[in-house]
A and B are shown apart, each in its own frame.
Chain A
Amino acid sequence: MKARLCVLLTLLLATPAAADRTLDAMRDELERTMSRLAMPGMQKAYFASYLLSDSTDYAVSASFGELVDSGTPVSRGAAAEIRIGGRSFDSSGYAGSDFRSFRPVTGGAVIEDDYDAVRAALWALSDHAYKTALEKHAQKKAYSEKKGIKELYGDLSVEKKVSVLEKVRPAPEFPKESWESRVKELSSVFRGYPGVQSSEVRVECTRRVNRFVNSEGTRYRVNADKAHFYVYAEVQTPEGLKVSDRRELHWPSCADIPDQKELLAEVGGFARLMDGLSRSPAGEVYLGPVLFEGGAAAEFIAQLFVRGISFPRRAWADNEDYLKYYIDKGGLTERVGMRVLPGFISVHDDPAETAAAGKPLAGHYSVDSEGVRPGRLELVKSGRLANVYMSRGPVKDFSSSNGHGRAALNEFPSGRPGNVFVTSRKTAPAAELKKRLLELAAEQELDYAVIVRRLASETTLDLENILAAPVLAWKVYRDGREELINGVEFTGVTYRALRDIVLTSDEPYIYNYYQPGPYAMSRGSVAASIVSPSAVLVQEMELKRTDRKPDRAPYIGHPFFADNGGKK
């Protein structure tokens, strides 16, 4: 309710702006770039855009009851895109042989709204971007001719001119001293958990305003505030294997950060589980049903499905063998019309939504990074893939954007999620799912089944490895008893696992996360949300022991616990 009210207010306030000299500077320099930036005898740009991203990052972190960091850096990042050629074939999307430099032309800009200084920053970036684009265009043309590439779907789709000018929100309230004492208190929770060797708690509250103009007349000024809470812990298992995890919570604004009591419970729950891992037995090879619960259910969907239908278009490169190491491409993006999920599951994305089940959604946005408005997008209808995430880079199946061209400042926009809604017609209460899991295990004459409640980060994935290792997994014996295990990884996972979902829970789980981008050398991340069933039962998955080697246990005990006889 509260979140809806906020949206309403934002819309009301999105009236024609008062003077915005920064936006004026962007517009004026863009005009000069389009009309006058030219190397003698060479083409002028046919398209250009500027993005300015203003951030104030309030951050406080603490470890074991004491501050480690407390700062409020203010920054303004700037990016200039210039395209040479035409919509059907231009200078974009060509990495050549240097993957490191395959990124937008970016730099810093003054943090004050000074017309001349902002224009000067954009002038310097434009000059560089224009010269780079001229070279890229010629190289890409030569590459295309050398390879005799016939399948060309165009480079820049035609989109409607858009103007979204939100009123700049006032800076959020972030009482630093109070947060310092809160974070200290939260981090001292670990003083109760001798199994944890290293830990840290961090709160970040970012005020962000993004401004964009392009040569087609589209412009936007949007508030993109965000807030994060991280808890990190590292433990060592009885065999010496080091296991670390970072619990992350994300919200679309600092006002959404829950009260201290709730955060204390979060930290406590996490610390207890990590501490438990330090005493847990190692897992074994396993082939059988797996129940993904809570965060892991959403992570399963995020890693296998959402990532699979993102980044449909991959850049060209001189050495194609290297592409797979440097530029990701969603493995499901060429399966439009095919079955990707069981028939009882449908999925859509709607960035216009701001909350679900009373919880704020981090994946909300009104206009994407390229200035295209998103709408409700049907992704999967009764198991069949209907759409993939599209930016303005056309692909075989889709010639225009669906408002999902998203990127951090240091990346080129590509098709990425907003708010993903997964709906299932075959559901059961949570207890029922666990029962069904055990039945499936019994049918296969297994002594136990496996429940996963936390997966490792999506950043650990690559083309071959499409599902991250479980961080928190339990053996569930026939009598329902659960035992936390460590040191297992999935093996042989294919997209088939999505179709092997046999049952889901009837409860929604709201998962706010940051999707890592497709470029290994300039990876950014964008805020997204998944609203999915809180548990997903998969018919069959395979687990193996990790190949990682253990470390020797510390030579001497942790000073706090050793001095206190291992007690609190």
Chain B
Amino acid sequence: MLRTLTLLAALSLPVSALPADQDPLLKALKTELDRSFSKLKDAEKVPLYFLHYGATDTDYHQVGATLGALSYENSGRERRLDADARFGSPALDNTHELKGAQARQNTREQAAIDLPLGDDEAAIRARAWELTDAAYKAALDRYAKVRTNIGVTAEEKDKSGDFSPASAETFYSPVRLPELDKAGYRGMARRLSAKFKKHGFIIRSGVSLNASAVNRYMVNSEGSAVVTGNNYLYLSYYLTARTKDGMDLSRGKFYHSDGPAGIPGEAEIAADIDRSVSELAALLGSEPSEPLSVPAILDGPAAGLFFHEIFGHRIEGHRQKSESEGQTFAKMIGQRIMPEFLRVYDDPSVREVRGQFLRGYYTHDDEAVKAARASLVENGVLKGFLMGRTPIEGFPSSNGHGRRSAGKGAVARQGNLIVEASATVPYPELRGMLLEEIKKSGKPYGLLIKDIYGGFTITQRVLPQSFTVQVLLAYKVYADGRPDEAVRGLNLIGTPIQTFSRIKAAADDAGVFNGDCGAESGWVPVSAVSPSLLFSEIETEKVSKSNNKPPLLPPPYAEGQGGKI
């Protein structure tokens, strides 16, 4: 089961302070990697054929405010090191999937360690040595398990091997945390968060700013030495309310960028907050939705996230050969899987779309492979997969999508998933087409879905190959000209292939979703871009709810507001 959370955003501002050969961390990692590999490669009967170090150096500042006062303000720095060791050969190594009763051991969890923050080579190497020994022993142990497992389980269909070749990459472009007007952000967070005090129906709210400079260091026994940095900065707010029937509702917004200049001014955010407050009030006054199957429009960013969930995760290469995965698209290369007017690709090397920042941008993935465009769907026909260095039949090499967060082994993941339409209409026309679909379907109304929360998509074979996506903001659209009405308490459900076949048209816009995506290899920053899409039919179910009563007393500052919305 995979989960995507709507979270943060940002891009990179290269500040090459030092030439690569003078970077103490890079130097220490290279020296220790070379020493370890030369001494360890033949230390056991089975050869160690590959060793990789990946260090993630994060420098951050964050501040949050609630109801006009700061709730936290922290700065910090951390450096985590991962070590990946491979025994055997690229054809069969310790990362090979275990089958049968051992399959539950197929976790990507691995040991990671905190590295010193400074430049002292001896201290850095001491920690790297500790981790290398642990990684070496763990890999050796797993290799033995893999060998036995292969002997006692059924033959595999896909004989593509465990590790694909890649060229040695050399790249050096670290970033530094941009100068931040901390006092300015403090003041802005206080003022913006105080706005919620005017509304007694809001039970929780907050404003926060989060800035981080993430530098990834990678060295491996193939000679790669990559240092690549991204700046991520976002400002966000949220507000929640609870209905009398015990349903928690929320609104909120994230403004993602790679630097302070990309964050809108206070007045613009304040206006967005006012709009969110009105939306939450409308949701609070609305009736819970009953299960439906109606025509619908998914607005741009929501459509992007929708594609990320129901398509992107199913197109991750390693899933196509895993014996525990549903393999929805594994054998469909060359086949039509969605309307002819749609093209889908994932390109992490794109920094922005129509001036909008993409948080999924990177130069190299976490396996030191250069980011490249992965063509996934052309004219509605499936063309390829997202590939890390785990080959699959017909796709022997990586396209730079092997990703992870510290403490996990890399697998194929999304970066910037981009959906484009060759035939588009202006948005008002798309709405007109929705009204036509509603009339045609004979349903009393359709749905206009403005905002969704990640939700989850099931790709594992033991469960139905379906998706559930939680709707945060949607309206009923009536064909008879009545004004739109807010509706709450619904999830979008379905199976991917059927859902794609119901896409009827696309608008000429491009909505960008920026967030963090979580899966077996950890949390990675991603973007998803899509035009607004019209579906002839989309199915919904009721949401599960907390069933908690709203607070018995109004918030103390709202005494006298009469508890009214």
Interface residues of A (CB under 8 A from B): 28-29, 32, 36-39, 62-71, 73-75, 108-112, 114, 116-121, 123-124, 127, 130-131, 184, 191, 197-198, 552, 554-556, 558-560
| Residues of chain A lying within 8 A (CB to CB) of residue B67 | 110, 114, 116-117, 120
Contact indicator A32/B553 (Cβ below 8 Å): yes
Q: A64-B116, A120-B556, A124-B204 are in contact. Are A111 and B123 (CB under 8 A)?
A: no
Interface of A is mostly: mixed
| Residues of chain B lying within 8 A (CB to CB) of residue A38 | 552
| Residues of chain A lying within 8 A (CB to CB) of residue B555 | 120, 123
| Residues of chain B lying within 8 A (CB to CB) of residue A108 | 71-72
Q: A38-B552, A111-B71 are in contact. Are A68 and B116 (CB under 8 A)?
A: yes
| Contact among B32, B137, B557 with A119 in the assembled complex (CB-CB below 8 Å) | B557
| Contact among A32, A63, A110, A555 with B71 in the assembled complex (CB-CB below 8 Å) | A110
Once the chains are docked, how many angstroms separate the CA of A37 from the CA of B554? 10
Once the chains are docked, how many angstroms separate the CA of A560 from the CA of B71? 44
Contact indicator A112/B556 (Cβ below 8 Å): no
Contact indicator B129/A116 (Cβ below 8 Å): no
| Residues of chain A lying within 8 A (CB to CB) of residue B74 | 71, 73-74
Contact indicator B122/A191 (Cβ below 8 Å): yes
| Residues of chain B lying within 8 A (CB to CB) of residue A74 | 72-74
Contact indicator A68/B114 (Cβ below 8 Å): yes
Min distance, Cβ B119 to any Cβ of chain A, angstroms:
8
8 contacts between A and B (CB under 8 A): A37-B553, A66-B119, A69-B78, A71-B75, A116-B556, A117-B68, A119-B556, A556-B43
| Residues of chain B lying within 8 A (CB to CB) of residue A73 | 72, 74
* B86 interface contact, C-beta 8 A: no
Rank and list the top 5 A-B pairs by shortest CB-CB distance, nearest first: A66-B123, A114-B69, A66-B116, A66-B120, A110-B69
Contact indicator A111/B72 (Cβ below 8 Å): yes
| Residues of chain B lying within 8 A (CB to CB) of residue A71 | 74-76
Once the chains are docked, how many angstroms separate the CA of A36 from the CA of B553? 8
Once the chains are docked, how many angstroms separate the CA of A180 from the CA of B66? 33
Contact indicator A110/B40 (Cβ below 8 Å): no
Once the chains are docked, how many angstroms separate the CA of A63 from the CA of B124? 9
Contact indicator B68/A114 (Cβ below 8 Å): yes
Contact indicator A70/B556 (Cβ below 8 Å): no
Once the chains are docked, how many angstroms separate the CA of A60 from the CA of B137? 32
Contact indicator B118/A67 (Cβ below 8 Å): yes
| Residues of chain A lying within 8 A (CB to CB) of residue B123 | 62-66
Interface residues of B (CB under 8 A from A): 32, 35-36, 39-40, 43, 65-78, 114-120, 122-130, 133, 136-137, 197, 203-204, 548-549, 551-553, 555-557
Q: A36-B553, A555-B43, A556-B39 are in contact. Are A112 and B69 (CB under 8 A)?
A: yes
Q: A69-B117, A556-B40 are in contact. Are A124 and B72 (CB under 8 A)?
A: no
Contact indicator B117/A68 (Cβ below 8 Å): yes
Contact indicator B71/A123 (Cβ below 8 Å): no
Known: A65-B120, A67-B117, A111-B71; 6 extra A-B contacts, CB below 8 A, are A28-B556, A68-B115, A117-B66, A117-B67, A123-B556, A555-B133
Contact indicator B36/A556 (Cβ below 8 Å): yes
Q: A66-B123, A112-B69, A559-B32 are in contact. Are A32 and B556 (CB under 8 A)?
A: yes
Min distance, Cβ B379 to any Cβ of chain A, angstroms:
52
Min distance, Cβ B134 to any Cβ of chain A, angstroms:
9
Once the chains are docked, how many angstroms separate the CA of A118 from the CA of B556? 10
Min distance, Cβ B203 to any Cβ of chain A, angstroms:
7
| Residues of chain A lying within 8 A (CB to CB) of residue B125 | 559-560
Once the chains are docked, how many angstroms separate the CA of A75 from the CA of B74? 10
Once the chains are docked, how many angstroms separate the CA of A63 from the CA of B133? 18
| Contact among A75, A127, A555 with B136 in the assembled complex (CB-CB below 8 Å) | A555
Once the chains are docked, how many angstroms separate the CA of A510 from the CA of B118? 37
Once the chains are docked, how many angstroms separate the CA of A184 from the CA of B118? 10
| Contact among B72, B130, B553 with A75 in the assembled complex (CB-CB below 8 Å) | B72
| Residues of chain A lying within 8 A (CB to CB) of residue B553 | 32, 36-37, 123, 127
| Residues of chain B lying within 8 A (CB to CB) of residue A130 | 552
| Residues of chain A lying within 8 A (CB to CB) of residue B76 | 71
CB nearest to B550 among chain A residues: A127
Contact indicator A111/B70 (Cβ below 8 Å): yes
Once the chains are docked, how many angstroms separate the CA of A418 from the CA of B489? 53
Q: Most chain-A Cβ atoms within 10 A of its Cβ — which of B123, B127, B555?
A: B123
